[in-house]
Structure 1
Amino acid sequence: MSKKSEVDDAGSTGSSSGSLYDQDRVILERLGYKQSLDRSLSAFSNFGVTFSCCSILAGLTPLYGDALQSGGPMTVIWVAIASTDLAMAQFLASLVSMSSSYNPNTYVIFAIYVCILLLHGVVNSMTVRLNGLFNNMSVWWHVFGTATIVVVVLAMTPHRQSAEFVFTTWVNNTGWSSSFYVFMLGLLQSQYTLSGYDSAAHMAEETQNASTGGPMGIIMAIVTASVVGWVFLVGMTFSIMDFDTQIVSPAVGVALSQIFLDSCGLRVAIFLILVILGAQFFCGSALTLASSRMVYAFARDGALPMSERLHKLNKEKSPVAAVWFNIAFCFILGLPYIWSETAYSAIVSVNTIASSISYLIPILCRIILARNTFEPGPFNLGRFSTPVGIISSAWIV
């Protein structure tokens, strides 16, 4: 167990008071730490951060066209930080090319990416209470934004696809002969979206009644993202009018942008893309928030270079140094995009696979090594723990 860290000059007590805060503080001290961060996030705000990190509009939209060509509608429907901001920059580029003859090059897209990173740094330098409100707003933006996109596009599409096309059509434009391998490639879209739910744990030190609020945040985020995301995919797939011109070779570069343009016209398409851009900004901000807490936690244990600086808190008890460390790291991570878009695809793939492995390890340890010795907390799955762990491991693998 890690030794207790010294409390930063910012103070050792959170802004909350009462028995729940005391319980959270005691649990944290049992783990070897003192309460240093501001514990002011509600359970809903914890869910908001987690749901924003999953972000169906940020996760599903960039890879929608690729997934449709790796198994077709059947795979998409039935399977249903740096990479997110680059995706947002690409959507902005498609918006520009849609409304004018100007086609932004990779340098312009990268410049947009850097501006977005800086905005995320500014937002996450605010207090955790304000970030909680920001992510609460993100929840409603995602839910109502998705509903708006689905209703508007379906209503304005003159020739919709049949249910047979949406639920049973198989497409393989990957060049691979193995249907199973192609199907697994199509899974990446859903896997990319159903990630980031560990953010609830990263924000636990700042969440009130974290022992139950954190786990519920994970469950609520996954269930909500699954339902809303599936509705979004079904609606968009019904709205495909020409698979080749909209999915395989979209003129504006992004499949969904092409669907919006063909179905709704320029002005409405721009509005819908702005809704997606807003969701992507919320997602990137939430990812920055959660990852900064990981940097803070590692630095507190002396596991990173410059740990003494990175785990410092400001007067509002926020790890601002860790926030800007993340921004700088994401800037470096995005540099290869200038020379090759393949680098971006590699970032997305590595992010998806690496994060999934990080989920798999503790699950396997729980169901194999600690099956009979694990001490459950206030929130647990009881007798369903092992079956759920096995199913989760199978999905990740």
Structure 2
Amino acid sequence: MQKSDNEKDAHSIDVVAVRRGNGRGTDDALLAKLGYKSEFRREFSLIETVAFAFSIMGIVASVSSTLSFPLASGGHVGMVFGWLIPCFFVLCVAASVAELTSAMPTSAGLYYFSAKLAPEGYSPLASWITGWANVTGQVALVCSIDFTCAQMITTAITVGSNGNIVLSSGATYGILLAILASHGVVCSAATRVLARLNIFYAVINVGTSIAAIVVLYVCSGDKKVSTKDAFTLFENNTGWTNNGWAFLLAFTSPMWTLTGYDSAAHISEEVAGAARAAPIAILVGVGATQILGWLILIAASFATTSVSDLLASDLPLPMGQLFLNTLGKEGMLAIWSFIIVVQFVTGAAQGVDASRVVFAFARDNALPGSRWWKQISTRTQTPVNAVWLVMACSGLCGLLGFSEAALASLAGASVIGLYTSYAAPIFLRITSGRTKLVPGPFTLGRWFVPIGAVAVAWVTFINVLLFFPAGQNTDAEDMNYAVVLIMTVFLWASLSWIISARKWFKGPITNLESEQSSIQERPTEKE
């Protein structure tokens, strides 16, 4: 499509302004071109945005939460290479999301990207599907993180009491509700408070991760397995007879950990210089998490003398048993306390992320009761109602914790929901949206098609993988309930679209004042 001279000039001015300016006026002008008025205080700096994107993945706590997956799916090989292999493909997804975020820095994020890149006439449908997938994944991830935090607390209680106190599922659920309530308070705070807290989150996250690497490798002493065993010893404890397939299930751990980095997009309306800071935060957060995660798992592999004993532990999380074996009771409780703190702050960061998604989706009138969830508190200038909606929905999801199989499936459901919402706009970018995107400061250039194609192919593969059960022969007690969770939301969203939403949902809508509502769409780039 050929652009007029005026369009070219407008586009040139826009890009130069974004690249040169980090002031609120520049950010708000770009947001207005995207169709929204500024409602937040832009108090996240570049460093705080990077800290937020990194902290939301809570590396040491996330690895501790999901160690059972690689242990069962390959043992030492599952830990080391079950983490390393997915990292390359996740980087492709993250790079594609970063490019889109740089071009369109708005809290609406992924569903907004889909709307703008979809073929003519399909914008509302693309936005609807992406939005519901993202909301589902966001809420499921809040619940999954906080329930695991509750399990970490029960693990500490069991170890501290020498096994005399083993809390029931009901008690664990009660701890979950208390954590969600505290996160509701934290996530309702003003943006300035949240931004400063993320520096603390990042420091304790990195510090605890490094401490875990050192103590697992050093304190295991002569009990360490050989280097050959640490990297090449394979054990299949999944119940699947095919070892290759069993190994693939180890990918659940890195995929669950390496989620939520789209958070930088969802807080972009609270970030100074968002078009530049948000993509940097996504890439740095993902890269740092991948490196630290791999080092933690290598250290854990060296310290693991018996995979089967860890899997047979009475403790809710095998990593707790590994620290107990390596450090003894006092040492385990010391580092475990810091890991609990990391998991708690990870849940808080995810709560902020999820609330911004809910707020943005409600701002475009896509949720039942949108008029409540899109309100901004006049005191904190944050979407407090959306925060508490997320916590309430996460509490309902937490009822799945009364079934171990259903709770484990929650991790898969969160990954499927989030990565589906990542893949949708990326797919549209490399198909119908090739000439629609005006790149921001960060762009993949001519590589956007091959990188995007790899990203979409990987998400398709991983979504299929995560629908499979952990064992070959399953019953109602140990089936993978991810398909039930995802299909329930999918069927509801589909039916509501067919029956009602297709008549009134128009995708992202402007909320600018009437005199500003005539602002045109950003011009398309020349093919």
TM-score (normalizing by structure 2): 0.70
| Deviation readout 1:182-238 (Å, 9 max, x if unpaired) | 122111101111111100100011111000111111000011001111111111111
1:356 counterpart = 2:359: no
**Corresponding residue SS for 1:312:** coil
Q: 1:92 aligns with which of 153, 178, 184?
A: 153
Determine the C-alpha separation between the residues in 1 that align with 2:354 and 2:179.
16
Greater CA drift, 77-86 or 56-65: 56-65
Pair 233,113 (structure 1): closer, same or farther in 2 beyond 3 Å = same
Q: Are 2:30 and 1:27 equivalent residues in the alignment?
A: yes
Residue aligning to 2:293: 229
- The aligned amino acid for 2:210 is A
Distance 2:245 2:428 in 1: 28
Shift of 1:291: 0.6
- Indicate if the aligned counterparts of 1:58 and 1:84 stay in contact, CA closer than 8 A: no
Q: Counterpart in 2 of 1:4?
A: none
**Partner letter of residue 258 of structure 2?**
L
**Displacement, 1:42?**
0.8
**Distance (whole Å) between structure 2 residues aligned to residue 61 and residue 259 of structure 1:** 10
C-alpha distance after superposition, 1:54-77 (max 9, x if no partner): 221232112202321112221321
- Name the counterpart of 1:197: 261
| 1:149 is the counterpart of 2:221 | no
Quote the offset at 1:393 in angstroms.
2.2
Structure 1 match to 2:202 = 139
Structure 1 stretches (4+) deviating beyond 3 angstroms? none
Matched to 1:74, the amino acid is V
Q: 1:220 aligns with which of 284, 290, 293?
A: 284
Structure 2 residue 74 is the aligned partner of structure 1 residue 71: yes
CA distance in 2, matches of 1:238, 1:395: 30
Distance across 1 between alignment mates of 2:81 and 2:34: 41
Q: Which residues of 2 match residues 38-49 of structure 1 at below 5 A? A: 38-49=41-52
Contact 2:28 2:38 in 1 (8 A): yes
Residue 167 of structure 1 corresponds to: 231
For each residue in 1:9-36, what CA deviation from the matched residue of structure 2 results, as whole angstroms up to 9, or x when unmatched? xxxxxxxxx8621111111111111001
Which of 54, 59, 62 is the aligned partner of 2:62? 59
Please give the alpha-carbon distance, in whole angstroms, between the structure 2 residues aligned to 1:362 and 1:285: 27
SS in 1 for 2:62: helix
Q: Aligned residue for 2:302?
A: 238
Aligned-pair CA distance for 1:276 = 0.9
Relative contact order, higher structure (CA 8 A, sep 6+): 2
Q: Alignment partner for residue 186 of structure 1, among 246, 250, 265?
A: 250
Tell me how far 1:93 sits from its aligned partner. 0.8
Alignment partner for residue 110 of structure 1, among 173, 186, 193?
Answer: 173
Aligned to 2:326: 263
Q: Give the counterpart letter for 1:205 in structure 2.
A: E
CA distance in 1, matches of 2:43, 2:201: 18
Deviation, structure 1 residue 347: 1.1
C-alpha distance in 1, partners of 2:280/2:224? 38
The more displaced of 130-139 and 51-60 is 51-60
- Equivalent pair of 1:76/1:187 in contact (CA under 8 Å): no
CA distance in 1, matches of 2:324, 2:61: 19
The answer on whether the counterparts of 2:230 and 2:298 sit within 8 Å (CA) in structure 1 is yes
- Cα deviation digits, residues 101-133 of structure 1 (max 9, x gap): 111000111111111101111111111111111
- Structure 1 residues 333, 251: closer, same or farther in 2, change over 3 A? closer
Listed as ranges, the gaps of 5+ residues in structure 2 are 1-20, 84-141, 461-527
Matched with 1:126 is: 189
Amino acid corresponding to residue 96 of structure 1 in structure 2 = I
- Give yes or no for contact 2:70–2:82 (8 Å, CA) kept in 1: no
2:82 and 2:305 map into 1 onto residues whose CA distance is: 22
Write the deviation string for residues 246-286 of structure 1: whole angstroms up to 9, x where unpaired.
x2211323211111111111111001111110110111000
User: What is the alpha-carbon distance in structure 2 between the residues aligned to residue 72 and residue 242 of structure 1?
Assistant: 9
Superposition deviation, residue 391 in structure 1: 2.5
1:305-363: CA deviations, max 9, x gaps? Answer: 1211111111221111111111111111111323x122211211111112111111111
Flag the structure with larger Rg. 2
In 2: Cα distance, 1:142 partner to 1:186 partner: 23
Note if 1:321 corresponds to 2:385: yes
Any unmatched runs of 5+ in structure 1?
1-17
- 3-state SS of paired residue (2:376): coil
Q: Is the 8 A contact 2:224 2:303 kept in 1?
A: yes
Change (3 A) 1:387 1:79: farther
1:13 is matched with: none
Q: Secondary structure at the match of 1:260?
A: helix
Letter in 1 for 2:364: D
Select between 146-155 and 84-93 the one with higher mean Cα deviation: 146-155
Q: Distance in 2 between matches of 1:64 and 1:46?
A: 28
In structure 2, relative to structure 1, the CA distance for the partners of 1:217 and 1:260 (3 Å cut) is same
Cα distance, 1:135 vs. partner? 1.2
Return the alpha-carbon distance in structure 1 between the equivalents of residues 74 and 215 of structure 2.
27
The secondary structure found in structure 2 opposite 1:265 is: helix
**Letter paired with 1:119:** S
Per mean C-alpha deviation after superposition, the further-off stretch among 211-220 and 158-167 is 158-167
State the TM-score, normalizing by the size of structure 1: 0.92
**Partners of 2:22 and 2:273 within 8 A in 1:** no
Aligned-pair identity (%):
30
RMSD: 1.4
Aligned partner letter, 1:129: R
Deviation for aligned residue 1:382: 1.3
